[in-house]
Copies of this chain bind each other. A is one copy, B any other.
């Protein structure tokens, strides 16, 4: 179903294997040998395809699906049509992610170095590394085993990239140590100077930026996102962080593990995010703040104070979500009121 110009499909797989490999259990063990050949949405899937139900909004589509099998939560099993093989999972979307990865594994990097790449003799290149056309790798860089580097990417002097990382095209890296199994999408910029200078009417004076960027294992960083290196301390992206497109991370910022930073958000210098913090799209966090573990920041919000662990904040300047929406409701009532206090 996915366009074969762009995607190669693996499989088919038996339901028994799929259940085992994606953390689900087959409701009818007798169907373990049934084969499915692809994934598809509930309304698009046919008898040879595997679908899933996660968002309750789509329960209505379940009775009429023509899919051969479906990953879903036990509580929705009763609504399934006869003949549909059920793969029960406590987390259907997670199970679907694993199943879809089986059918559409990331294309393997083809080891080799394109003739047009410029690799410094003093760079250390691991085994089975794929280096694309027009790539540049500087002296002292260390590229781990099975890393792929997309066309036109520039890896500066001394940069370290961990094993099995995938670097897209047109990426530039300097002054950074990248972990293993990291994905950097096209146009990512890591390690350039932070925005550090002493303001002066006779001409602002640059403060040398003497730190690095450390990116933990298993991170994914989106297209055209920029992460500046530290001014003295390092900028740190914890393991397992997912960062979307066009995000800005300032110097000395530290992110804990598993943070989620959505598109066009920004974090100003020296701010610290705990583990699993979520910053929604276009939000911003001022500098020198502490955002506690598990805190959530709403889209477009502007954070000007610390946030305790686990809280959700929204607005500019942001407050607790509940307070913010109460303020909005109050203002709307006052504005609609005739004969109100402002007349």
Contact = CB atoms under 8 A, between A and B. Distances in A.
Contacts of A94: 198, 200, 205
A299 B271 CA distance: 15
Interface centre among A98, A158, A208, A245 (most CB of B within 10 A): A245
Interface in A179-204: 183, 185-187, 189, 192-193, 195, 197-201, 203-204
A327 B337 contact: no
A268 interface: yes
A113 to B, nearest CB: 13
Contacts of A197: 97, 220, 242
22 contacts: A2-B210, A39-B210, A93-B198, A94-B200, A94-B205, A101-B208, A118-B134, A118-B151, A150-B154, A152-B152, A152-B154, A154-B186, A172-B187, A185-B192, A185-B193, A189-B224, A195-B245, A203-B218, A204-B240, A224-B246, A284-B300, A319-B332
B5 A158 contact: yes
Given A101-B205, A223-B226, 17 more contacts: A3-B212, A6-B158, A39-B232, A91-B198, A96-B198, A97-B206, A97-B208, A101-B208, A134-B152, A174-B186, A204-B220, A204-B242, A204-B260, A224-B224, A248-B263, A317-B328, A337-B341
Given A226-B246, A248-B246, A284-B300, A232 B168 contact: no
A156 B132 CA distance: 12
Copies in the complex: 3
